[in-house]
């Protein structure tokens, strides 16, 4: 992490700037130096990916004024203040204003390195959390995460865009691992409640008393109950089937008291993995019909056709980048097995398979078939290696599309490179790309 972290060094003394910069550069940091606070402010913007080290006593804008400007722009930015002898009270004041820490001259270079390293770790965590919050509030980003071109996924994305604009409550149903929580985030992000509170809890994670306190209060020093925190936004209740009857009555009262349109949207998530028990069996009828005013049913992975191959490729490439390994390339037999697998764990199971396949590839052992066999045997299922249940033509076409898609991405849209690797003449490649809806422009 340190190798990628930037350190801005601000000091009017050139020798001091250079010595700090040289020492931290030897420790693996990317350093940049500034002779004045005014010069540094032109470059250090909110979300600056690093740490600031600044002298306190400087001509023009001094370190304290500089710190105040930085804190007003980004209060989480770590700023380490360098102070001369006798300026410790000023450094303490800087800490009260938000400085990360201070060091008194002459200082131990090793301690400065360790301080910079800890500040950089804190900065990375802050920026990662910000990026995650932005991602979960960006409808465009979230919709792109709903990967797949199957008719079921096309309909799901259209339904999310339609229901996102509505003021009614929504019930999301589907098997475990189908992405119900992601869809709840997307519903919130593509509608008028974007930017308002998104509160989520699981009705199965707490006992009745603790869940009641978390949802309905009373107000404590720890914060507001979720029904108050989420006012004007979205309240997501996962595992709604586990909500105790007494709390069902309180939730119904809360919904009825809001009137129409609802001030707070309720998104209820039902884990529909038990075909013997429907949500209507678990909820009182009046609450069920209020929550199920609009309903989204997420398709299981086994019904999404060649989305399985698209998703596997996506996850394998992502984990390949994370682990610094080459993602595995599917054989025709492995592609057929993925298409026929029952996928009881749905997309979540496929993500785990993609990660294990990459780790296995890095070690140079095993096969995707063995991983899939292990998964399905644990679930009490059997793996079909034949093409029973679907015409052979469908499996061949799905594999062919995946192969061309993967090769185009590896060659970044180079038609010549794809033609050479797949031994295809240009006309044949063009015809197959048109047949499978693949456009060269998507790979450039």
pLDDT tens digits for 339-361?
A: 888 899 999 999 999 999 999 88
pTM of the model: 0.64
- For residue 385, pLDDT beyond 70: no
pLDDT on residue 376: 60
User: pLDDT tens, 12-47?
Assistant: 999 999 999 999 999 889 999 999 999 999 999 888
- For residue 201, pLDDT beyond 90: yes
Within 8 A by CB and 6+ apart from 388, the residues are: none
Considering the domain architecture, whether residues 99 and 12 belong to the same structural domain is answered as yes
- For residue 330, pLDDT beyond 90: no
Q: Which residue, chain included where needed, has tokens 């398979």?
A: 353
- For residue 396, pLDDT beyond 50: yes
- For residue 393, pLDDT beyond 70: no
Considering the domain architecture, whether residues 269 and 209 belong to the same structural domain is answered as yes
pLDDT on residue 4: 58
Considering the domain architecture, whether residues 76 and 200 belong to the same structural domain is answered as no
- For residue 218, pLDDT beyond 90: no
CA distance 36 to 55: 10
Asked if 358 and 366 touch (Cβ cutoff 8 Å), the reply is no
Considering the domain architecture, whether residues 262 and 169 belong to the same structural domain is answered as yes
Considering the domain architecture, whether residues 321 and 215 belong to the same structural domain is answered as no
pLDDT on residue 356: 92
- For residue 390, pLDDT beyond 80: no
pLDDT on residue 382: 46
Considering the domain architecture, whether residues 195 and 73 belong to the same structural domain is answered as no
Considering the domain architecture, whether residues 287 and 145 belong to the same structural domain is answered as yes
Considering the domain architecture, whether residues 197 and 273 belong to the same structural domain is answered as yes
> What value does the mean pLDDT of the chain take?
86
pLDDT band at 386 (very low <50, low <70, confident <90, very high): very low
Q: Tell whether 165 is covered by a domain.
A: yes
Angle at 438 between CA 433 and CA 444, to 5 degrees: 115
Considering the domain architecture, whether residues 27 and 108 belong to the same structural domain is answered as yes
Of residues 2 and 121, more confidently modeled: 121
User: pLDDT tens, 98-152?
Assistant: 999 988 888 888 999 999 999 998 898 888 878 777 776 677 778 888 999 899 9
What order of strands is seen across the sheet that includes strand 79-83? 30-34, 6-10, 50-55, 79-83, 101-104
Considering the domain architecture, whether residues 190 and 316 belong to the same structural domain is answered as no
Asked which of 21-35, 37-51, 303-317, 416-430 is least confident by mean pLDDT, the reply is 416-430
Choosing from 347, 379, 411, the residue where a domain stops is 379
pLDDT on residue 53: 96
CA distance 408 to 311: 16
User: pLDDT tens, 257-266?
Assistant: 987 788 899 9
For 20, the 3-state DSSP assignment is: helix
Q: Tell whether 386 is covered by a domain.
A: no
Task: Determine the average pLDDT of the residues in 144-165.
Answer: 90
* CATH number of the domain encompassing residue 340: 1.10.8.60
Mode of pairing for the β-strands spanning 265-271 and 170-174:
parallel
Choosing from 281, 297, 313, the residue where a domain stops is 297
CA distance 67 to 80: 10
User: pLDDT tens, 272-292?
Assistant: 766 677 888 899 999 999 999
Q: Tell whether 384 is covered by a domain.
A: no
- If one counts the domains in the chain, the total is 4
Considering the domain architecture, whether residues 34 and 143 belong to the same structural domain is answered as no
Q: Tell whether 385 is covered by a domain.
A: no
pLDDT on residue 50: 93
pLDDT on residue 384: 44
Q: Tell whether 1 is covered by a domain.
A: no
- Return the structure tokens found at 388: 């029973």
**Domain around 152:** 139-297
Q: Find the DSSP H helices in 238-345.
A: 245-258, 279-282, 285-291, 307-323, 332-340
Considering the domain architecture, whether residues 123 and 47 belong to the same structural domain is answered as yes
CA distance 14 to 10: 10
Of residues 55 and 399, more confidently modeled: 55
* CATH number of the domain encompassing residue 78: 3.40.50.2300
pLDDT on residue 214: 93
CA distance 405 to 396: 14
């Amino acid at each position: 992490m340190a190798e990628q972290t930037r350190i801005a060094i601000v000091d009017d003394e050139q020798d001091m700037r250079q010595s700090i910069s040289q020492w931290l550069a030897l420790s693996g940091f990317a350093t940049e130096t500034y002779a004045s606070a005014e010069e540094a402010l032109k470059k250090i913007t909110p979300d600056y990916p690093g740490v600031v080290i600044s002298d306190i006593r400087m001509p023009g804008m001094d370190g304290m004024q500089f710190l105040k400007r930085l804190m007003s722009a980004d209060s989480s930015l770590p700023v380490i203040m360098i102070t001369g002898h006798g300026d410790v009270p000023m450094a303490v004041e800087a800490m009260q204003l938000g400085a990360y820490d201070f060091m008194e001259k002459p200082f131990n270079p090793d301690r400065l390195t360790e301080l910079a390293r800890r500040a950089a770790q804190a900065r990375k965590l802050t920026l990662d959390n910000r990026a995650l919050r932005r991602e979960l509030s960006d409808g465009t980003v979230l919709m792109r995460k709903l990967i797949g071109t199957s008719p079921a996924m096309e309909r799901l994305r259209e339904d999310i865009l339609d229901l996102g604009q509505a003021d009614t409550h929504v019930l999301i149903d589907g098997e475990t691992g189908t992405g119900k929580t992601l869809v709840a985030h997307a519903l919130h992000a593509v509608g008028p409640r974007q930017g308002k509170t998104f509160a989520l809890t699981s009705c199965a994670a707490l006992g009745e008393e603790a869940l009641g306190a978390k949802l309905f209060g009373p107000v404590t020093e720890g914060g507001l109950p979720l029904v108050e925190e989420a006012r004007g936004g979205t309240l997501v209740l996962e595992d709604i089937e586990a909500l105790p009857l007494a709390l069902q009555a309180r939730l119904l009262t809360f919904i009825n008291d809001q009137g129409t349109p609802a001030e707070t949207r309720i998104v209820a998530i039902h884990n529909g993995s038990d075909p013997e028990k429907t949500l209507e069996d678990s909820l009182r009828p009046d609450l069920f019909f209020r929550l199920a005013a609009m309903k989204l049913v997420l398709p299981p992975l086994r019904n999404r056709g060649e989305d399985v191959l698209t998703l596997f490729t996506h996850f394998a490439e992502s984990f390949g980048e994370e682990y610094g390994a080459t993602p595995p390339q599917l054989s025709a037999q492995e592609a057929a097995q993925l298409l026929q697998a029952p996928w009881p764990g749905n997309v979540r199971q496929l993500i785990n398979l993609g990660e294990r396949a990459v780790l296995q590839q890095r070690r140079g052992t095993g096969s995707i078939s063995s991983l899939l066999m292990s998964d399905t045997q644990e679930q009490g299922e059997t793996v079909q290696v034949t093409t029973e249940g679907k015409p052979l033509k469908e499996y061949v076409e799905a594999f062919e599309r995946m192969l061309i898609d993967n090769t185009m991405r590896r060659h970044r849209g180079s038609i010549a490179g794809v033609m050479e690797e797949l031994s295809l003449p240009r006309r044949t490649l063009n015809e197959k790309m048109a047949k499978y809806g693949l456009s060269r422009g998507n790979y450039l």
